Amino acid sequence: MSKSKTEQPLQSQLAALDAIVAWFTEGDFDLDLAATQYAEGVAIAQSIQQHLTKLENHITILKERFDAAEK
């Protein structure tokens, strides 16, 4: 089963939000569909905001040594 848009990686979510905004700016549209799209846009935006405010960077210093003699 495919992931919902709010479960996708951040970059995909931003792309999805861009697409919704483009859809709205393209002109004529059905109001019912617009309501669905608007709700989806809001959900994606909230998900992105959560992503960006809750995540942390993970830093690992590798154990590999790079001073070994050349093979």
> Cβ 52 to other proteins, closest distance in Å?
5
Residue 52 corresponds to which tokens in the numbers above?
A: 């960006």
- From residue 8 to residue 27, the character string flagging contacts with other proteins as x (rule: CB under 8 A) and all else as - is -xxx--x--xx-xx--xx--
* Pick 1 or 31: Cβ nearer other proteins: 31
Q: Are 8 and 16 in contact (CB under 8 A)?
A: yes
Those residues whose C-beta lies under 8 Å from the C-beta of residue 24, and which sit 6 or more positions away, are 34, 37, 38
Report d(CA 17, CA 37) in Å as an integer: 10
Which of the residues 23 through 62 are near other proteins (CB under 8 A)? 24-25, 29, 31, 34-35, 38, 41-42, 45, 48-49, 51-52, 54-62
Shortest Cβ 2–other proteins spacing (Å):
20
